Amino acid sequence: MATKILIIDDDPIIRLLAVEKLSEEGFVVIDAMDSATGISLALHEKPDLVLLDVVLPDIDGYQVCQHLRSLPATQHLPIVMLTGLDDTSSIVQAYDFGATDFFAKPINWKLLGYRIRYILRASKTFEQLAHSEAALANAQRLAHLGSWEWYPQADITERSDEYYRIYGMTRDNLLPSMFAVLPQVHAEDQERVKAALEAAMSKGLPYQHEFRILAPHNGVRVLHEQARVFKSEQGYIDYVEGITQDITELVDAQQRIRNLAYYDALTGLANRQLFRELLQHELQRAQRHDKQCALLFIDLDRFKRINDTLGHDVGDMVLQIVGNRINTCIRSSDIAALHQANPTKNEQVARLGGDEFTVVLTDIAQPEDAAQVARRILEAMAQPIQIGTQELIISASIGIALGPQDGYDVESLLKNADLAMYAVKDKGRNSYHFFDHTMNETVLNKFALENDLRKAIEQDQLELYFQPKINPLSGDIVGAEVLLRWKHPHRGMVSPVTFIPVAEESGFIVELGAWVLKRACEINREWQSRGMPIVPLAINLSAANFRHHDLLPDIRRTLEDLKLQPNFLVIELTEGILMNDVDETIQTLQALKDMGVYLSVDDFGTGYSSLNYLKRFPLDELKIDRSFVKDIISDPNDAAITAAIIGLAQNLKLSVVAEGVETTEQADFLLRRGCNTMQGYLFAKPMPQEDFEQMLMSGINMGEMQAVFMVDG
């Protein structure tokens, strides 16, 4: 497209000549005789260049020039002022008002054509440069990246706009010295930044580092600065070129990612990942410096019950409170300094998930130090937790393993602290225990036992024993408790006290319970078929059996399949089972009751049943725990409790059975208080099926005992 020239001149001859001569040079020429027309054409016709006379009838050419420069559309438009030949002051003024160039009158039109071409070329280049600069400035602004050139000999720095913006300064209030920014640098980083500048200045050393500044109105910012040094051929330092970038957002994002990756969202404590890394580090340090560290593995006691009964929100609150409490029991130590990014967090305390917390203690002088912390934690736990109107009492079991003696790596130390924690649970919870190597054996033993137990049913190693319930006055067998026995091929007879907990822990108890139920009912059916005198058989149910969704259908089907009357089946449940989720318990008990099954509370007196609940449970029988019966003669407390339980049963119209009766004195005491169903070694030990059948047929031999009861009774 042809180049368009606008000439603004009040001299009609000049305008005419311009149109004629410049058209010959290949330009399109438009003209204006006064400034107002000229400005309007400059805006609407978009010329590539303006020839502007200094003297115009309305306002002078300088002001036209100034006005065009102030408008965005004509800001960069090349303007050539037409001046008198030796009118130097006009020439100077022309530049002052923003003219691109001047051309002296009288006009040599040929020469003017060349000049116009040259100016247009130069202006194009200038335009491209301005464009690139703007793009660069824009890019710098977007990337919060400032650039600079520093001439160390004179200590003068040329800085880009963004550099000033980063520091919240302007060209006017920041001195050219590269050291001028130092007062804004964070006190802790100042020495380092100054040293890098000095090394670049004196030794020509490049650098790259991060530091913090305090920017006016923008708070603390984190900067990344990188510098290259340019030297002359003689080796002198010419200048230093660098970039300075505000990486605060990046650092924040990294911190957030780190928080997600390393911290537990609920409690804000270290998570499993961070725990592992820190413990790993600690173990290596302990080994290198011949020091000792301790790992405390903390598991809340019966936390599931809180979650199940009060809901997960309450459970979460409890976990947060517990996390805080553990935290306050631990002094901050050097380990926190490892992860400077978040120095406010005490990373010695971690939550591994669920209700499992850990504490890593560094540089302990003796195991007692760890024990002391464990005791502090237990004390802190014992404080009641108030959530709304609820007051909760919680406790924890703590296992302690010492590093490196109990484990050189995270895995083994954690496993051993976990074993120690389980030892606490086994011994009744709410305490702490150090790991010792026999625990490993116990666990291996447990594993082996668990494996063998799974095969016990198929390999026919399980057997039911029967222990009669007696009426000592009549000598009648009024029922029997079914007790499971395991004839292990190598270990011999394994007690249910040993294998039931293993089965409960592994979940195998569900299968085992179902087997006992079916087998007990089958035997009872068999006795009926053989025309033997039959009695109700009581089976023990574990919590998992009682809560299992198959329980009711299983019992119903078994009774139906065998055509057994439900009142020949007694289910014994401990107080603990009943009290866990009372509403569900009532529903299940009622369903069993509706089926006609007889319900008995085993080990009564050892749990914490509330009388309120007891009234709401549709029960048939209470069994006084063996531990009370044992000392009823010698311990007035046990005597009183036993008498109270008997009274309670009578009031609630429940039968009462005394367990573990071993002496005639005990039996006598119980009889006098009104308990006339008993079970215990005095009458018979649990016995194999055949022996019990024999006893059923011939009746129990009460011998002299009966005489005693008959006389006394």
Which residues sit at the interface with ligand C2E, rule CB under 6 A? 467, 483-484, 495-497, 500, 513, 516, 540-542, 602-603, 626, 660-662, 679-681, 686
Give the shortest CB-706-to-ligand C2E separation in angstroms: 18
**Strand pairing report for 537-540 and 476-488:** parallel
Residue 652 Cβ vs ligand C2E, minimum distance, rounded to whole Å? 21
Q: Which is nearer to ligand C2E, 96 or 505 (CB)?
A: 505
**CA atoms of 297 and 350, how far apart (whole Å):** 10
By C-beta, is 19 or 552 nearer to ligand C2E? 552
Give the separation between CA 192 and CA 494, rounded to whole angstroms.
Answer: 72
The closest residue (CB) to ligand C2E is 680
Sequence-separated (6 or more) residues with CB below 8 Å from residue 87: 54, 104
Least distance (Å) between residue 542 CB and ligand C2E? 4
CA distances from 363 to 287, 302, 360, 434, 644 (A): 11, 32, 10, 17, 55
Minimum Å distance from CB 647 to ligand C2E? 22
For residues 197 and 480, which CB has a smaller minimum distance to ligand C2E in the complex?
480
Beta carbon nearer to ligand C2E, 264 or 602:
602
Q: Burial-class residue 241 by CB neighbours within 10 Å (0-12, 13-18, 19+).
A: middle
Give the integer Cα–Cα distance in Å for 654 and 645.
11
Tokens describing residue 176: 């050219």
Nearer to ligand C2E, 3 or 663 (CB): 663
DSSP state of 263: B
- Calpha distance 23→21 (Å, rounded): 5
Task: Give one DSSP letter per residue of 334-348, joined into a string.
Answer: GGGGGSTTSTTS-TT
Residue type (1 letter), 582: V
User: CB of residue 441 vs ligand C2E: minimum separation in angstroms?
Assistant: 23
Q: DSSP assignment, residue 547?
A: H
Residue number with CB closer to ligand C2E (416 or 542) = 542
Cβ within 8 Å of residue 293, ≥6 positions away: 282, 283, 285, 286, 360, 361, 362, 363, 364, 402, 403, 404
E-strand ranges in 475-595 read 476-488, 492-494, 537-540, 569-574
Pair of tokens at residue 576 = 């603990």
User: How deeply is 639 buried, as exposed, middle or buried, from its count of CB atoms within 10 A (0-12, 13-18, 19+)?
Assistant: middle
Write down the least CB distance from residue 671 to ligand C2E, Å.
Answer: 16
Which residues have a Cβ under 8 Å from the Cβ of 647 and sit 6 or more positions away?
A: none
SS3 295: strand
Using the 8-state DSSP alphabet, how is residue 472 labeled?
A: T
Q: Which is nearer to ligand C2E, 662 or 691 (CB)?
A: 662
**Closer by beta carbon to ligand C2E, 284 or else 606:** 606
- Residue 365 or 497: the one with the smaller Cβ distance to ligand C2E is 497
User: In the bound complex, what is the minimum distance in angstroms from residue 686's beta carbon to ligand C2E?
Assistant: 5
Give kind and range of the element (H or E) at residue 466: strand 462-471
Q: Is the four-CA dihedral 686, 688, 693, 698 of positive or negative sign?
A: negative
As measured in angstroms, the least distance from the Cβ of 482 to ligand C2E is: 6
* Cα–Cα distance for residue pair 483/434, rounded to 1 Å: 35
CB of 302 to ligand C2E, least distance (A): 19
Helix axes 88-96, 61-70, angle to 10 degrees: 20
Nearer to ligand C2E, 299 or 575 (CB): 575
H runs (alpha helix) in 185-311: 187-203, 248-262, 272-288, 303-310
User: How many C-beta atoms surround the C-beta of residue 77 within 10 A?
Assistant: 21
Considering the complex, state which of residue 84 and residue 501 has its C-beta at the smaller distance from ligand C2E: 501
- In angstroms, what is the minimal distance from the CB of 457 to ligand C2E? 12
Q: How far apart are CA 258 and CA 321, in angstroms?
A: 24
Minimal distance, residue 628 CB to ligand C2E, in Å: 12
Nearest residue (CB) to ligand C2E, 488 versus 616: 488
The residue among 152 and 680 lying less far from ligand C2E, judged by its C-beta, is 680
Token pair recorded at residue 25: 């040079």
* Nearest distance from C-beta of residue 513 to ligand C2E, angstroms: 6
In the structure encoding, which two tokens stand for residue 120, read together?
């247009």
CB-based contact 676:473 (threshold 8 Å): yes
Shortest reach from residue 366's CB to ligand C2E, in Å? 41
